[in-house]
């Protein structure tokens, strides 16, 4: 009897590696994995799929004798299990490389890259293709509510992937997306981020240039035409047709949400999502789906039924007329556009911006000087500074009495509750769990 091939994933509880685990299991592999912190919801999601999880990185896991170890970028030299894999010369691969070699080789890959909006745009694109009965596979860094899962593999030749510019593994410092070899590549936007691995914007542009180099001549690059950084990327060399977003000679959308392509009307986008950034995300998804054969009219119809990704302006509850939102925003540009989108929806009602600067870049304080401007449209700002190595009070001083900075989460919650009143909108922004602040706020308000 032929047993299924066995992969063992180091760092399995990250969103990306957990997605690889899920689709490998669906593809017929035996999948096991380990991580430093094995806890819900990822642990429950993986265990429900029959994936065996181990807490920690014990050397005893070598007794599992998998065909290959898949190494997440959370693993570094000095990790006891990784050191023994190296000492014994056992086979190992990065997640992106293994995915490309084993599951994407014969697929039409549609990859969504960019500093902001990758998860939302990937979800939009996957949903348009699903609506068009193309049954796409996908790997998304969040849970699209139209699907209820973050990753799947299908018999379809179409596969949609969120293409991250973060590095691949400790032994491969290229961006993850260079492994995917997309036929359709979206370059949604490009700003400086990930200060823990990139020295400056130019170094990130180089990685995007490497991505562009992998797109075939009979493919398509869809690029934000409003961003100088992406123009510089394309000017370094592009061997593929390009369609631009947000320009008169490409894809555009007007104030009434009417979509045009090269100045020709394509139809109206009718949906409930907020913000100009989401309009740009929609244009990118429509363009990519059209390249895969889906008429724009079908794409617009699909987007009218699109449900946003969890943690993207997700309403977590409403108590005594006070609405609590959860959003993944953690970069000044994303914070600015998220608040602006909510402002357009709620008008003159008060907005409380509740911020946890948690990303590696934010923790380093690289973007602290940009924070006041990104938060200025909120009526009150509450910042949790419990894990920061820089002076958040000083950074937010330009906001005056509008800004409250606290090192204790319980005290921060108390301050929000004491300041709130019926009709207020509390926008919680973090790329982590934020200590369960959403449920704690709802309970305290109730």
For residue range 151-198, list pLDDT tens digits in order.
999 999 999 999 998 899 999 999 999 999 999 999 998 887 766 767
CB-count burial class (<10 Å; 0-12, 13-18, 19+) for 166: middle
Domains of the chain, residue spans: 6-97, 104-303, 314-445
Strands (E), 207-277: 220-224, 242-245, 251-253, 258-261, 264-268
What's the CA gap between 254 and 405, in Å, rounded? Answer: 39
CB-count burial class (<10 Å; 0-12, 13-18, 19+) for 360: middle
What's the CA gap between 166 and 168, in Å, rounded? Answer: 7
- CATH class held by domain 6-97: alpha beta
What's the CA gap between 223 and 230, in Å, rounded? Answer: 7
The pLDDT tens digits along the chain (446 residues) read: 466 799 999 999 888 999 999 999 999 999 999 999 876 667 777 888 889 999 999 999 999 999 999 999 999 999 999 999 999 999 999 999 999 999 999 999 999 999 888 999 999 999 999 999 999 999 998 788 888 888 999 999 999 999 998 899 999 999 999 999 999 999 998 887 766 767 788 889 999 999 999 999 999 999 999 999 999 999 999 999 999 999 999 999 998 999 999 999 999 999 877 778 889 999 999 999 999 999 999 999 999 999 877 667 788 888 888 999 888 776 787 888 788 888 878 888 999 999 888 766 666 666 777 888 889 889 998 988 877 777 788 888 888 888 888 888 898 888 898 889 899 999 998 877 787 888 888 888 88
- CATH class held by domain 104-303: alpha beta
Cα dist from 252 to 88, 192, 231, 265, 431, whole Å? 56, 25, 17, 9, 30
Strands 322-327, 314-319: pairing is: antiparallel
What's the CA gap between 247 and 263, in Å, rounded? Answer: 9
Cα dist from 129 to 2, 64, 92, 300, whole Å? 35, 39, 34, 12
Same fold, 104-303 and 314-445: no
314-445 to CATH, choices 3.40.50.880, 2.40.50.140, 3.40.50.360, 3.90.190.20? 3.90.190.20
pTM for the whole structure? 0.78
Give the position of tokens 């943690």. Answer: 311
């Amino acid at each position: 009897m032929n047993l299924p091939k066995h992969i063992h994933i180091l760092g399995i509880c990250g969103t990306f590696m957990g997605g690889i685990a899920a689709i490998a299991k669906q593809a017929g592999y035996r999948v096991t994995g380990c991580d430093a912190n094995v806890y819900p919801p990822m642990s429950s999601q993986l265990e429900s799929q029959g994936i065996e999880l181990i807490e920690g990185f014990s050397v005893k896991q070598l007794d599992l004798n998998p065909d290959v170890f898949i190494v997440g970028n959370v693993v570094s030299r000095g990790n006891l299990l990784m050191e023994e894999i190296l000492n014994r010369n056992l086979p190992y691969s990065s997640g992106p490389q293994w995915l490309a070699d084993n599951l994407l080789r014969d697929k039409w890959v549609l990859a969504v890259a960019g500093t902001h909006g990758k998860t939302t745009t990937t979800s939009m694109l996957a949903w348009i293709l699903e609506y068009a009965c193309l049954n796409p596979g996908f790997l998304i860094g969040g849970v699209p509510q139209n699907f209820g899962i973050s990753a799947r593999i299908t018999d379809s030749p179409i596969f949609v992937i969120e293409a991250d510019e973060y590095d691949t593994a400790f032994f491969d410092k290229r961006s993850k997306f260079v492994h995917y070899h997309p036929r359709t590549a979206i370059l949604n936007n490009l700003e400086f981020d990930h200060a823990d691995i990139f020295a400056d914007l130019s170094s990130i542009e180089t990685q995007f240039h490497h991505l562009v180099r992998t797109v075939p001549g009979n493919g398509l690059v869809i690029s934000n035409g409003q961003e100088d950084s992406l123009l510089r990327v394309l000017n370094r060399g592009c061997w593929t047709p390009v369609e631009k977003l947000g320009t008169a000679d490409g894809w555009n959308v007007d104030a009434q949400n009417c979509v045009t392509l090269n100045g020709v009307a394509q139809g109206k986008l009718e949906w409930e999502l907020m913000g100009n950034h989401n309009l740009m995300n929609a244009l990118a998804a429509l363009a990519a789906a059209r390249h895969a054969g889906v008429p724009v009219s079908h794409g617009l119809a699909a987007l009218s039924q699109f449900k946003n990704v969890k943690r993207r302006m997700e309403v977590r509850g409403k108590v005594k007329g006070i609405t609590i939102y959860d959003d993944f925003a953690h970069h000044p540009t994303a914070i600015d556009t998220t608040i602006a989108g909510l402002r357009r929806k709620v008008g003159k009602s008060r907005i409380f911006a509740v911020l946890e600067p948690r990303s590696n870049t934010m923790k380093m304080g690289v973007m602290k000087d940009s924070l006041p401007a990104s938060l200025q449209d909120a009526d009150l700002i509450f910042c949790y500074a419990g894990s920061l190595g820089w002076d958040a009070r000083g950074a937010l001083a330009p906001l005056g009495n509008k800004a409250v900075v606290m090192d204790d989460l319980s005290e921060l919650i108390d301050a929000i509750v004491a300041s709130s009143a019926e009709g207020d909108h509390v926008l919680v922004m973090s790329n982590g769990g934020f200590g369960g602040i959403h449920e704690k706020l709802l309970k305290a308000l109730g």
